[in-house]
Structure formats: structure tokens, C-alpha cells
Structure 1
Amino acid sequence: MKAWIRALKKKNNTMLFQMNFWFILILLMTVLFIGTSVLMVVSYQLYQGTRQEVGYVEHQLIATSQKKNPDWNEAIGLLYTQHPEFYVRIKTPDGKIIYSKGSEGIVDNNKYLIRLSLISSIFINNRLIPIYHHSALHGGYTFDMFVQMISIRHFIKTMVKVLIICTAIGILFGSIAIYHISRRLSRPLMDVTMFINRVTRTKNLEQRVPPPAHPKEVRDLAVSFNQLMDQLEQQIEREKRFVSDASHELRTPLAAIRGHVGLIQRHGTNHPEVIRQSIHFVDHESRRMQRLIDQLLMIARLDRKAKTLFPVNLSMIAGNVIADYAPEVDQTLSVDIADNVYALANEDYVHQVIVSLLGNARKYTPAGGWIKIIINSDRNYAYIRVQNSGSRIPDDEKEKIFNRFYRLDKARSSENGGSGLGLAIVRQLVEIENGKIWVQDMDPSGSEFIVRFLKQPEAGEAAEKKI
């Protein structure tokens, strides 16, 4: 029993059940609303007709009462012939009571069950027949007129039967139709859900959901899921490659350090110069490992870093970096910095970007070459440009240099202490700030790294946008 109840509750949460339930409910409410409206309108029309007939009978009774010697038997007999559902009780000025044919049971001996309204004077008798009552006074006469509204009762009974039959037929055939339609509409969604569950069960990230032709919403869901799986697979692949590259980069200095430690253990006692050389090498490699680990930790932090952008002065930041960095540069360093160039960015990130790009330019520019930094802007963007007179970067590697652990010249990079993470960190910093970075060739030689940020609107431009 409990299992059956759980299965029923689970089924109640399905889209198929919900569509059928709401369709039946809406159909039922619609039929009841239409039927009740028709019932009320037609009943009101019949009620108005009864009132008019009562008014006509009242006019005839008053006309009879105005005669010198009214013949009530003839008047009432004629009334019964014309209006068989009308019953009249007449109280004359001398206290005599006159009944129409059969009116005694209606007037005196009937027990009314329900009075529908104080205004309409309609009652329901014990046979569930609505009775309209109207009383009039004229010339000392009291006229009580009662009308059995059998036609309204018959109409109501017929309408209730029609409503019940129509509702039952509508619910039956409508439920069958909506069930098949909803199954056909929900089938693609069920297929997509089953396929996603299969991917989750098997943990096979290479599988993709076949997008159905229709409906469009389910097709968009399948396409979005496939895009998510593509991104997830690419992310996992990048992480695997990152772990592999990081392990390789750390393995090399660790092996060298262990080799020199072994050399010290074997020959350090008899050859003091070996100790000095090995300690110098271990110190160099340990510093290199420390830089590499710091860069790896920075990348890990940047992967989870929230975007917090404020207006920053690129001109001032670049000026401060160059003031600190210029004494260490062996090449000719020149600047072209426009005044008060503001961008939406993070000040610490911008500082790191400029330092890293200058360090990269210094590393790959030969002695006697030149480096130039340019800060400028146009209507929509602010730019940081770092140019150098080093060798050009091949077109097929212009995008690869921003990948982690990628080096154009691995041998030379290792000699310079490069880890292949500098430009990867720069790109990540720029993208966090909603910016873009790319590299292009200089003429006749050299490379130019360009960083673009959204420009902070000036006061006049901001006022124009508000207007």
C-alpha cells in the first residue's frame, strides 16, 4: 500500500499528470461557468415573463373588482382557462375569501421550504417547485396570486442533465485527447532526461544528447546541455593538461636538486667547491620552483575570483610601474602615456598586467633593442600597448602563447627562468576585467601586445547618457 502511495505521489509530480489534471479542471470550470450563465440568463427571462403575466392578471382582477356586482366565479374560471398555472385567493371587503380552482392546497396547506429572495417573493415548495407570489390591494380587495413556475423547474432539470452529460463526455474525450497530445509533447523531454541520466550513470562525458526536431524548448535544452558538456569536457581536459604540465615543470627542478644533493653526499667531504656550486644551483632552482608555485596558486585563485570593477586611472598606474621598473631594463624604454585615461578594471590586476607584459618584452628583446609602452583610448575603449623590437611571433602561435606552459623557444625560456605561465595569467587577469588581449606584428620587426578595457565614461558623456 505504501509503495502504491509513493508511486502515485511520484506520478502526480510528472508533467503528463499535471497537464491532464489542469485540462480537466479548466474544462470542468468552463462547462460549469457556461452552463450556469445560460441557466441564470434563461431563468431570469422566464421570471420576467411570469412577472408580466402576473401584472396582466392583476389588471384583470382589478377591472373585475370595479364592476358594480362582480362575478368572481366567471372571472376566476376564465382566468384558470387562460392561465392554468395561476392560483388566486381573493379577500373581499366584507371578509369573504374566494379561491380559484385548486388554489386551497397552494395557498393555505402548502409548506414552503425555501424562500429564495426577499425581493422576488419566490418560494420552493415541498415538491421542489418554485412558486411566485404577488399580493395586491385595491378598493378594499386583497389579491394574492401564486404561480407554479413549472417551466423554469423543467428547464433547470433539463439544463442540469445536459451539463452533467456534456461535462462527462467532454472530460472523457478531452482527457483521452490531452493524454495523447501531452505524451507526444513530453516524449522528447522524457528522451532527453533518460539520455542525461544515462550520461550521469555511465560518467561518459563524450556522449551528447541528440537534439529533437521539436518542440523548440526541448531542442534548446538539449543543445544547452551539449554545450555545457563540451565546456565541462574542455575544462576537465585543461585541468588534466595543467596537472600534467605542472608535474613536469616541478619534476625537472626537483630532479636537479636531488642530483646535486646526491653529489654533495658523495663528494662534498673531499671537494668543498662542489658544495658551493651545488648550493648555488639548489638556491637558483628553489627560487624558480617558488615562482612557479606562486604562479600556479595565482591561477587557482583567479579561477574563483569574483569580478569587482571600478574606474581606475591607467595613466597613473602605468607611470608608477615604469618609475619602479625602468632601472632594471637593459633595453631602451620609451613611453607615450595620454593623460587621465580611465577604464573599468581592478587596480591590482592592471598593475600586474603591465608588469608581466614589460617583463615578457624584456625577456624576449635582445640587448640594444627597445621597448615602448603606450596608454591611450578611443570613444569606447582604453588601451595598454607594449611594443618591443624582438623577433616576431608566428601567426599560428599568436593564440597559443596565452596557453599555460606554452613557450615559443623552450630552451631559451628555461634559461631565462620562464615557466610559460606569465602570459596565461595576464590573459586570465584581463578576461576577469571584461577586457581582451591579443598580439600583432610590428613593422618591420617586433611584436605589440594590446590590452583593451571598457572605457570609463567622462562626466559629459555620462550626463548625455542620463539625459
Structure 2
Amino acid sequence: MKAPQAPRSYADIIRHSFTSLLLTIGLVIVLTVSITLTVDQLFRAQEQAARLSANLQTTQVSNFADWLTVNRGSGLNSHNTFILIKNADGSTTSFLPGARKIDTSGAWSVPFTHLIYIKNMGLYFSETLKTGQRTYLLYIGMHVLLGNLHVLIAVLIIAIGLSLLIGLLFVRRLANRISKPTIELAQAAQQAAATPAVTQPKLPQPAEPVEIHQLAEDFNQLLAAQNNRLQRERQFISDASHELRTPIATIRGNLKLIERRGDQHPEVIPESLGFIDQESLRMQHLIENLLHLSRADRADVDLQPLDVAKLARGVVAHYQPLVSQPLSLEAPETPVMALGDSDMLHQILTALLDNAHKYSPADQPIVVRLITTAQTVTLQVADQGAGIPAEDRTYIFERFYRVDASRSNQIEGSGLGLAIVSQLVKLNHGQIAVTENQPRGSVFAVTLQAPPKS
């Protein structure tokens, strides 16, 4: 089995790509120039052969001197040009410089051309001409072409080699320059990953390349979101520990009081037991809210069309006997359909009514309204309480956040109710917002999506 290829760096990939590109370009240039030069020389040889053939037709060459005269008149090099004459009686006369003999038995032709290679003599352009009783076999030497090609190819190879050497040095520098921001970004990410419990710093964000700049920006956004979650979790653990520590300390303090003074002062036992019961109930509510919040974080909800007006009428009718404030519902008599989960919407409305009840005077009304549009249904709970300062409205849906801690300590609650409501609203694909009520108080608005019209 073939071993998997080791991952390559930027520099390796760029060097390999550049080398392949340069070699390909060099090969294309060599082939293009060689083919162009060869074709040009072939056309030249064909023109020379045509002129020589015209001279041969007018001049009957019978000896070497006549051939030299015809050859020089055609402007050809007599050392690279010769003819063979096939006579009518089958004999062959050759006119070669230096009275050399020619053997064409081992020659081979280049397909689709007039080129022929003669052993020990080289490459020639051949042309056949018949005049009278004679057949002239004309051979024009291509030695100049081959010499030019050898020189040209050698020059191109040297040029490509030098270009490749200089290009690799340039590519190495370029690759290091390109990979440097990526390496720095990776090292910073490794350092950040090595300390997951610490708030992660921002990663370096180079100005270029643009892709690395965008990647670093995305990483920093991801780190910022992670830091926010980490900070919220730390704050959540700290607040939960604080909220649980208080009832536990009260319970243990009253138990110690019973142990120390219960025998001699039995009257402290009922009072201490009352405190223990009250604090244990408070701790139970806190744990239940934490469980609700945990389940809400992991819940998967199947939203169905439901009549929000009917649900609101049922909740208001059930809740009115439990509170002193007068409750009223402003909703159409016809069904108001929205997408949601019935149990969750029931819990949302109940939690908002609990919140309005806690922070409203006993004689001030609480109003539940339903406002509809073509795409949405908005459920409002308006109270006449002290209201929420504008600077606190952004944070009231966070876990354990309570407005005016000194006053909130006098009101029962764990600071988790609105956080649970916010999470339940998100699970129902809705939005929740809080605004100022007139003349005072707050309005909590939950906006849900209307079901698609069939």
C-alpha cells in the first residue's frame, strides 16, 4: 500500500507549483520556437527547391561543373546541396562535393514532410523532378536548421535554468512572507488553546493577505463569543454558589442553635425550624430553576399553531385569585394563532405575571395584551411598578441579574426567572423585549411568529 503523502507547507506547495509552471512554460517555448523555426526553414527549403527545379528544367545538367553553375545561381550552399540523376538506362549519377559517394539505402523519411535522414550525412530536404528522360533527386541540406536548433535549445535551457534558480529564491522569500502571518496566527491559537481556563486574548490580525486578515478576524469573533460564554459561566457558578451558600449557612446556623440551646431553651426550636423550612424551600426553588434553565438550554421544541388568546385567558383566570393586583386581558374574542409550544408559553406568561406581581404595588393593575400583525403575534405584560432603568434593561435576562440589589434582597427570587423566560422564548423562535410603561412601570413583550397561511 502506498504511504500517505506528508502534509506540505505553503513554501513547499508554492515552490512545487512554480517549478512545474516554469518548466511547463519553458517546454512550451522550446517546442513553439523549434516548430516555428523548422516550419520556416522548410518553407525556405521548398522555395529554394522550386527555384533550383526551374533552373534544372531549363538547363540539362550532365556534369558536376554544370551542377555547380545551377546550384550557385540558385543561391544554395554547394557543400550542403547535391542531386542524384536517374538516367533512362537505369544508371544513377551523383553530384556531390569532393566526389563523395552517397548511400541512400539506410535513409528514413520524416512522415508528412519532405525531410529525409541519410546515415553519416545528416538531415536533408528532398524533392523529385522529372525532365525528359531523366529524373532529378534534389537534396538540400538542413544543417543550418539543426545548428540553429541546437544553439537555440541550449540558450533556452540555460535561460530557463537561470530563471528557475532566481525564481526559486524569489518564491522562497515570497512563501516565507505569505506563510509568516499564518504561522504567527497558528502559534497564537496554540498558546490560547494551551490555557482554556483563562480569558483568551485577541489573535494577531495582519493587514494582508486579505484571507488571513479575514480568518484572524473570524477567529477573534469566535474567541470573543467564547470569552463571553466563559465569563457568563464563571458568573453563573459564582452567583449560584452565592445563592446556595446563604440558605445553607442559615440552615446550619439554626441547627447549631438548636444543638446549643435547644435543651435549655426549647422555645427557639420552632422558630429555628421555621427558618430551616423557609431556607430549604428557597434552596429547592433555586435548584428547580437551575434544572429548568439546564433543560431549556438542551430542549428541542416542535412548534405547533395554537390559540394564544385562549391560553392567555386560561392563565389570567387561574392566576387572578393568587395575587392582590387586579388582572385584565385585552385580546380579540376570535382565536389568535401563533407558532409555539403550549406548555412553554404557559410557563412564560406565568413567569412574567410573577415578575409583575413581585415588583408592583398591591393596588396597581397588571394588564395582559395581545397585539397581532400579518406575520407576528405579540404578548405583552404591563405593570405599574417601579420600572427598570434603561441601563439595566440589557442585562435583566442574564442569569442571577437583579435590578437594585438592595431592594431586590427584600423580594423573594433567585434572579433566574427572566433568564428562563428568555431561553424559552428563543426555543419558540420568538423575541422578548422590555420597554417603559406609562405613567410608570414596565412592559414585557414576547413576539411570536404567526403560522403560515394555507
The TM-score by the shorter chain falls in which range?
A: 0.7 to 0.9
Distance 1:74 1:437, change over 3 A: same
Percent identical among aligned pairs is 30
Runs of 5+ unmatched residues, structure 1? 1-8, 460-467
| C-alpha contact (below 8 Å) 1:321/1:355 kept by paired residues | no
| C-alpha contact (below 8 Å) 2:316/2:328 kept by paired residues | no
> For 1:318 and 1:454, how far apart are their aligned partners in 2?
14
| C-alpha contact (below 8 Å) 1:32/1:163 kept by paired residues | no
Distance 1:413 1:170, change over 3 A: same
Does 1:430 pair with 2:425?
yes
Q: Partner of 2:329: helix, strand, or coil? A: strand
Deviations 1:212-250 (A, max 9, x none): 344433333444333333333332221111111111222
Does 1:211 pair with 2:205?
yes
Distance 1:273 1:141, change over 3 A: farther
Match of 1:169 in 2: 162
> For 1:103 and 1:278, how far apart are their aligned partners in 2?
137
Match of 1:234 in 2: 228
Deviations 1:389-445 (A, max 9, x none): 223222332223222112236677667642110101222333455543221111112
Distance 1:120 1:427, change over 3 A: same
Distance 1:128 1:223, change over 3 A: farther
Deviation at 1:280, TM superposition (A): 6.7
Match of 1:328 in 2: 319
> For 1:350 and 1:104, how far apart are their aligned partners in 2?
115
- The structure 2 residue matched to 1:145, chosen from 135, 138, 148, is 138
User: Size of the alignment, in residue pairs?
Assistant: 441
Match of 1:77 in 2: 68
| Further displaced range: 153-162 or 444-453 | 444-453
**Larger fraction in helix:** 1
Does 1:191 pair with 2:206?
no
Query: 2:37 is aligned with what amino acid?
Result: V
Match of 1:418 in 2: 413
Q: Partner of 2:362: helix, strand, or coil? A: coil
Deviation at 1:120, TM superposition (A): 1.3
Deviation at 1:323, TM superposition (A): 1.0
Runs of 5+ unmatched residues, structure 2? none
Q: Partner of 1:384: helix, strand, or coil? A: strand
Does 1:289 pair with 2:283?
yes
Deviation at 1:161, TM superposition (A): 1.0
Does 1:154 pair with 2:147?
yes
Distance 1:420 1:389, change over 3 A: same
- The structure 2 residue matched to 1:369, chosen from 353, 361, 364, is 364
Distance 1:309 1:116, change over 3 A: farther
Query: 1:237 is aligned with what amino acid?
Result: Q
Distance 1:120 1:426, change over 3 A: same
| C-alpha contact (below 8 Å) 1:80/1:101 kept by paired residues | no
- The structure 2 residue matched to 1:34, chosen from 29, 33, 46, is 29
| C-alpha contact (below 8 Å) 1:413/1:419 kept by paired residues | no
| C-alpha contact (below 8 Å) 2:52/2:71 kept by paired residues | no
Query: 1:194 is aligned with what amino acid?
Result: Q
Q: Partner of 1:27: helix, strand, or coil? A: helix
| C-alpha contact (below 8 Å) 2:316/2:329 kept by paired residues | no
| C-alpha contact (below 8 Å) 2:128/2:135 kept by paired residues | yes
Q: Partner of 2:93: helix, strand, or coil? A: strand
Deviation at 1:75, TM superposition (A): 5.0
Match of 1:179 in 2: 172
Deviation at 1:37, TM superposition (A): 1.5
Q: Partner of 1:231: helix, strand, or coil? A: helix
> For 1:367 and 1:133, how far apart are their aligned partners in 2?
120
Deviation at 1:43, TM superposition (A): 1.6
Q: Partner of 1:89: helix, strand, or coil? A: strand
Match of 2:113 in 1: 120
Q: Map residues 300-449 of structure 1 onto 2, 5 A cutoff.
A: 300-304=294-298, 312-313=304-305, 316-329=307-320, 330=323, 331-337=325-331, 349-378=344-373, 381-408=376-403, 417-432=412-427, 435-449=430-444
| C-alpha contact (below 8 Å) 2:400/2:414 kept by paired residues | yes
| Further displaced range: 263-272 or 292-301 | 263-272
TM-score (norm: length of structure 2): 0.80
> For 1:217 and 1:228, how far apart are their aligned partners in 2?
16
- Root-mean-square deviation (CA), in Å? 3.8
TM-score (norm: length of structure 1): 0.78
Deviation at 1:146, TM superposition (A): 2.6
| Further displaced range: 275-284 or 352-361 | 275-284
> For 1:396 and 1:444, how far apart are their aligned partners in 2?
19
> For 1:342 and 1:169, how far apart are their aligned partners in 2?
78
Does 1:130 pair with 2:134?
no
| C-alpha contact (below 8 Å) 1:111/1:126 kept by paired residues | yes
Distance 1:17 1:250, change over 3 A: same
Deviations 1:327-349 (A, max 9, x none): 22233332233566566666654
